[in-house]
Structure 1
Amino acid sequence: MIDADVIVVGAGPGGSTAAYHMAQHGLSVLVLEKTQFPREKVCGDGLTPRAVKELIRMGVDTSPKGGWLQNKGLRVIGGGMRLELDWPDLASFPNYGLTRTRLDFDQLLADKAVEAGANLRTGHNVTGPILDASGRVVGVTAVHEGETKEFRAPVVLAADGVSARFALNLGINKREDRPMGVAVRQYFHSPSRHDDEYLESWLELRSKEGGDNLLPGYGWIFGLGDGRINVGLGVLNSSVAFGKTNYRRMLGDWLANTPDDWGLSDPANADGDPQGAALPMGFNRVPHYSRGVLLVGDSGGMVNPFNGEGIAYAMESGALAAEVAVQALSRPAGPLRERALAHYSTELKARYGGYYRLGNMFVKVIGNPHLMKIATQHGMPRPMLMKFVLKLLANLSEPRGGDAMDRVINALTRIAPAA
C-alpha cells in the first residue's frame, strides 16, 4: 500500500519548502515531524536576500505587517573600523534581508505547505527506512505516541537537519575533509538595538581584558524588532579552538566587552540561556541522492562555508528536490525514474559545487585569528573591496551578466573544482 507519492522527513525550512512546491504540483505529500509546533531552533533568525527570494516564491508576506523586521544590509566591525554595506541591487534577488525567530518561522512555512495540500503529521519520530528486496527505500518507520508505524512512498526526502539520522541509517556518513562549524546564540532585551536596520558581523572578538588576545571565531548581533536582539558567535573546525573551548563562556567573555548601554553585559537582560548547534558545511554529506532518497538542506551538509548561512540553501535545495520529484514521478518506475532522481545530485553540484569549494578554502583562512586580523586590517579600509567580499560571502551575484564583480565571482566558481 502506498501512503503518499513522497514522504518528507522533517518539517524544517527545507522539508516544508519541498512539501509546499510538490503539493502545488499535485503530488500527494506526507510530512513527518518529530516535534510539535511551535518549536525553538538555534540558528536561522537572520535571513539574507537569498532566503527572502524563496519566501516570496512561496507567497509569504515578508512585510513588517507580516511580522518581519526588514534589514538593508550588513554592518561589518573589525580592524578598528565600522562599515555599513547595503545588500546589492540585483535583478535576481530582492535588496533586503529579514529577521524572525525560528519559534514561529518554521511553523509559518509548515502551514504554507499544509495550505498547498501537504499532509503534516507532528509527533512522528522517523526511526529508519523501509527497504525492498533490491535495497531501495520504499518507505519509513516512525514512532507516534509509543506506537511504531509504517508509511510507504516511492520517493523519500530526508530533511531531518544536522543529525541526518535517516542518511546515517543508509550508511551515508559525513565527510571529515569538509568544514564544520559550531554556533552559539542567546537572546537579550535591548531597546536600543532591537530594530537595527543592519545585520551586524564582528570579524574580531575580544574579551574584557582586551589587548591583542583575540578570541577565536566571528560574532553577530541583529535585532528581532520585538525588543530583543540575537547575539551569537561561530567557530569553525579550521580553528585550533574547535572542540576545545567552552563556547558559551566565550560568548560571555565577548559580551562583557560590549558597551553598557547595549545591555549585553548584564545577565539580567538575557532572555533564556545560550543555545548551540552544529553547522554542517560545504556538502559534507554525499551522495545527495541514493536508493530513492534525496537529502535536503543540513542533512546534506549544505550550509554556506563563507558565512554560515543554512536557511537559504535548505529552502533552495528543497525547491530543487520538489522539482526533481515531480519530474521523476511523471515517469514509470525503473531506469527512467532513477535517471530523473539522480539529476538532483548533478544539479546541486552544478549550482553550488565550485562556490562551496572556494568556501572550503576560505574556511582555512578565517579559522586562524592572526590571518583574519591581517585580512581585516587590509580589507576594511577599502569599501569597494568589501562590497565585493559581501557579494562573495553572501553568494549574491547575477548568474548572467551583472557588473565586473559578478563576472569575477562567477568565473571563480566556474573554474574551481566542484566540492
Structure 2
Amino acid sequence: MSAPEWDVIVIGAGPAGALAAHQLVRQQLRVLLVEKRAFPRWKICGSCLNGVALKALEAAGLGHLLNELGAVPLGRIRLGLQGHQLELALPAGRSLSRGRLDLALCEAAVAAGAVLRSPCEATVAGCSPAGREVRLRSGDDVQTTSARVVLAASGLGSSALGPELPIETRISPRARIGAGCELKADVRGYGNGTIHMAIGRHGYVGLVRNEADALNLAAAFDRPHLVAAGGPAAAAAEVLAEAGFDPLPEATTSPWRATPALTRRSIPPAAKRLLLLGDAAGYVEPFTGEGMGWALVGALAVVPLVLQAQREWDHGIEREWARRHARLIGSRQRFCHGLAFALRRPGLSRAMLSAAERWPALTAPLLQHLDGANLQRITPEPCP
C-alpha cells in the first residue's frame, strides 16, 4: 500500500462523522464519507442541542444551519419525579430532528468537497506503514480502499470495527437500553419550547417538540424491566405515570425502535491510523442534549491530530487522542454518569428535587454545565 487513495476515510455520517469530514475537507484533504443508511433517516435521539452543541456548530462555521432548518428554541426544562414536578429556565438550547440535522451536516460536508458513499457498509481492515484499508460493500459490490487515517464514527455496537483490532468494548453490567419514537403534531400536551423529562424507578423518558411540531420521545430503561413491562411503550407509560405526566395513548400504537446497551467504553479509542469518534468511542446515559454535544466537540477536537497524521503516524497520536477524549468528553460523560447514579436511587433523587425546589440557586452548576460555560477548554487545540 504505497499510496492511499484518500487522506481520510470517515465511517458514519452522523453529527460526529459529518462535521469531522466538513472540517477536514476545508483543510484541503481528500475525504471519503461513508454512511450505511440512506438519507434522510430517523434516529433514536432526544433531538436537543444544548449550549455545548450550539457553540461547537458556531465554531465550525455552521451555526447558521439551525435557523435555516427551523430549529425550535428551548427555554425551559420540566422535571417530573415521584409525582412532583419542577421547571427550570434553560440558558440555551434548540430542538431539531436528527433526520434534518444529519442530512444538513452531510450536505455541508459534500458541498465543501467530501465524497459521499451512501448507502454503503464500511469495515476497517488491515494496516500498513502507509495507510489503513477499509472494505466497502454496496449490495453485492465489494471494494477495498485505503486512507492515511480512518475515523470510525459509526455509532453504538457498530460492525465497522472488526474483532482483530486491538480495541476492547466494555459494556457496563447495568447499562440501560435506549428506545424512542415520534408522535404526530396533533398529539395534545407537552408544549413547544420545553424539554419534558419524566424520571421513574426503572428509567426515564424525555419529550420535546421538533421543528415539525412532532413530539419526539427518547427513553432509557433497565433491561429486565423493559422485558417485564412487555416493551418500550408500556415501560414509557409507567414512567410517565410515576412522574405525574399526562399519559400518551398514541405511543402504544407508534413504532418504537431500540438501541444496544448505552453505557460503554472503547479501550483504547484508537489504533494505528484509526481514531474512534462519537458514540463509537464511548457513551453513557446522556442528559438534555449532552450526547449531541459530545459528538460535535469530538469532531472538532480530532482535526489537529488527523492533520498531524498526514505527515507521519506514531503511537503518540493514539495516546494523545485517548488523553483529549478523556479530558474533553470523558469529563462530561462522568457528570452524566453521576447524575444517572443519583436518579436510580429514589430517596436521593427525591431529596435533590426537593432541595432544588426550595433553593433554585443549587441548580446553577447543572445549567452552567449544559450551557458549556467551560467551552474554552473544549475548542480544538494544536498538537503538542
Give the TM-score band, short-chain normalised.
0.7 to 0.9
Mapped to 2, the partners of 1:385 and 1:225 lie a distance apart of 32
Kindly tell me the number of residue pairs found equivalent between the two proteins.
Answer: 371
Amino acid at match of 1:45: S
Q: How far apart, in 1, do the equivalents of 2:313 and 2:68 lie?
A: 48
Higher relative contact order (CA closer than 8 Å, sequence separation 6+) = 2
List alignment gaps of at least 5 residues for structure 1.
89-95, 206-214, 402-419
Aligned residue for 1:87? 90
Please list the CA deviations of residues 291-322 of structure 1 after superposition, one character each: whole Å capped at 9, or x if unmatched. 11100010011446556732211111122122
What is the aligned partner in structure 1 of residue 360 from structure 2? 383
Shift of 1:14: 0.7
CA displacement at 1:389 relative to structure 2: 3.1
Q: Aligned residue for 1:212?
A: none
Q: Distance in 2 between matches of 1:326 and 1:243?
A: 47
- The verdict on how the C-alpha distance between 1:382 and 1:254 changes in structure 2, with shifts beyond 3 A counting, is same
- Flag the 1:257–1:384 CA change in 2: closer, same or farther, 3 A: closer
Map 1:176-325; keep pairs closer than 5 Å: 176-177=171-172, 180-191=175-186, 192-193=188-189, 196-203=192-199, 205=200, 215-235=201-221, 241=225, 246-254=231-239, 264-266=248-250, 272-278=254-260, 280-281=262-263, 284-303=265-284, 309-325=290-306
**What is the one-letter code of the residue matched to 2:237?**
G
- Report how far residue 15 of structure 1 moved: 0.6
Asked whether the equivalents of residues 46 and 218 of structure 2 are also in contact (C-alpha less than 8 Å), the reply is no
What per-residue deviation string (whole Å, max 9, x for no partner) do you get for residues 125-179 of structure 1? 11341233x7x96121111121210011111001110023233431422224587
User: Does 1:74 find its partner at 2:77?
Assistant: yes
Q: CA separation in 1, counterparts of 2:242 and 2:318?
A: 51
Residue 20 of structure 1 aligns with an amino acid whose one-letter code is H
Say which of 337, 341, 347 aligns to 1:364.
Answer: 341
Cα 1:3–1:98, aligned 2, differ >3 Å: closer, same or farther? same
Letter in 2 for 1:224: N
Question: Cα gap change, 1:123/1:398 in structure 2, threshold over 3 Å: closer, same or farther?
Answer: closer
Q: Offset of 1:223 from its aligned partner?
A: 0.9
Task: State yes or no: 1:398 paired with 2:371.
Answer: no
What CA distance in whole angstroms lies between the structure 2 residues aligned with 1:179 and 1:258? 22
**Residue aligning to 1:407:** none
Give the letter aligned to residue 397 of structure 1. Answer: A
TM-score by length of 2: 0.84
Unaligned runs of 5+ in 2: 378-384
Alpha-carbon deviations, 1:97-143, whole Å to 9, x = none? 111222222111100111111111112211341233x7x96121111
Displacement after TM superposition at 1:241 (Å)? 3.9
Matched, 1:104 2:96: no
Preserved contact between residue 44 and residue 309 of structure 1 (Cα < 8 Å):
no
Which residue of 307, 317, 322 corresponds with 1:345?
Answer: 322
**Equivalent-residue separation in structure 2 for 1:73 and 1:183 (angstroms):** 23
Letter matched to residue 226 of structure 1: A
Q: Which amino acid aligns with 1:265?
A: P
Letter in 1 for 2:298: S
Residue deviations 1:375-409, cap 9 Å, x none?
A: 333433321112333334x37333679xxxxxxxx
The SS at the match of 1:129 is strand
The answer to whether the 8 Å contact 1:179/1:280 transfers is no
Q: Is the 8 A contact 1:130 1:141 kept in 2?
A: no
Q: CA deviation at 1:64?
A: 4.5
Compute the TM-score of the two structures, normalised by the length of structure 1: 0.78
1:144 and 2:138 aligned = yes
Aligned equivalents of 1:249, 1:355: Cα separation in 2: 31
Alignment check: 8 A CA contact 2:177 2:259 kept = yes
1:77 partner letter: G
Structure 1 residue 360 displacement after superposition: 3.3
Displacement after TM superposition at 1:342 (Å): 3.5
Match of 1:416 in 2: none
